Amino acid sequence: MSGAGIDASESIVHRSSGTLPLKHLQRYGLAVISVAVALGAALLLQRFHFGDVVVPLLLFAGAISSWYGGPGPAVLTVLLSLMGFAYFFVPPIYSLRVAPSELPYFIISAALTSLISWFATIRRRVEEAARRSETELRQLIDVIPQQVQVFDAHWNPVFANRREREYTGLTLEEARSKDALARILHPEDREKLDAIHQRALLQPAPFELEARIMGKDGLYRWFLIQENPLRDERGRVLRWYVTRTDIEDRKRAADTLRQTEAILSQAQRIARIGVWVTRPPMIPEYWSATAFEIFGIDPADGPPQDLQEFMLHVHPDDRERVMRETDVLETGRVFECKYRILRPDGTTRVIREVGSPVQESGAVQHFVGAWMDIPTKKRRRGSFSVAKRQCETASSDGKPSSRITRPCTSWSMAGARSSQ
């Protein structure tokens, strides 16, 4: 293939013999030659006493002309066959005169030859339409901005579009080889994909998975692979069409986000800051893990469902003041408040809360804020020591460590005991 051109020899759909690309004169020449060969063979076989072969041979000549030449050469074949049969085989021989008694025989022969020619012509037109559709499909597959590969019903590669070949660096013949997929698929993903293909042979159905595909530079990138079967009218699988979408950048962004969230979570634990998000009218949507620790609530129980339930965790002497302060949010302003909370274990803690509305199109859509746990002197000394150890643990390997979780828990319990 060169540019956007299509090589007609590259076929997706299996065809039997197809039609030869004969020009106009060649097609009519084929009709003349096929009748001449049939008559010559019949005359030759007649010398060996095979006298009943002329009609089958002429019918065969008509089928060949119709198949490869079309309707025009088919009509010419019928006329030449009748003239040749009358001239060489019907008395008086070497004459085109036909006795009235022989006319029904000629009519039947002409009808049979015409019928065969008609069926062959229809078949030829159907195959030409299929070939045109195939060419259009090939062109469409080649220009879409996605990697596409086609497999037969038994997962043998049949075709790979231009974008697929440009990424992998494989030629079309290499992409059709049985080991093509094994050459570009990451070793750790081969067994998983093989298992899916085996299951698809028994229960054909669309499926998708994420796997790493090697490019022509020798580097692997993550792809979303989606495979869909093409079925015939009986439900049998004819082809598997496979699309591959590059998701390497998305995977890296997700990994970066997870790492950032882990760092932020550890920073919140060390600073004893809990983050919250609510929507009007103060319906909680998110509490961070540290927020649950500050209030002593089990994350499995979830945050308070509304403002009234939240106020049950506020010290009774501070509830009226907190209600007044939070009303500021409704006006679209930032608020800050320091108050006491009651934990389920009976201890009291002092926290500082800061909140801010988030507006979209002039309307408040969310409220975001944070609680900072304010330890007593005794708790502050213990908290500082724990925070120092957490920082040392986190910085020892240059990335957040799951080992920090345990000191945070110890810190919370230490704070609970000290406040008691």
Residues 11-66 pLDDT 10s: 444 443 444 455 678 888 888 898 899 888 888 888 877 767 877 888 788 778 87
Give the architecture (CATH level 2) of 255-419.
Answer: 2-Layer Sandwich (3.30)
pLDDT at 398 exceeding the cut of 50: no
Nearest 5°: the CA angle 289, 401, 297 is 15
- Mean predicted confidence (pLDDT) in 232-242: 89
Going by C-alpha positions, the residue among 23, 108, 131 that lies closest to residue 72 is 23
Going by C-alpha positions, the residue among 191, 198, 146, 205 that lies closest to residue 160 is 146
Residues 294-308 pLDDT 10s: 999 999 999 998 888
E strand or H helix at 13:
none
Give 401's pLDDT tier (boundaries 50, 70, 90).
very low
Distances (CA, A) of 288 to 112, 266, 276, 360, 400: 86, 11, 6, 24, 17
Domain with CATH 3.30.450.20 in the chain: 145-245, 255-419
Tokens coding 343: 């934990």
| CA 139 distance to own-chain centroid | 20
CA–CA separation, 358 and 340 (whole Å) = 26
At the topology level of CATH, where does 145-245 sit? Beta-Lactamase (3.30.450)
CA–CA separation, 347 and 350 (whole Å) = 10
Give 418's pLDDT tier (boundaries 50, 70, 90).
very low
Of residues 193 and 407, the one with the higher pLDDT is 193
CA–CA separation, 290 and 370 (whole Å) = 10
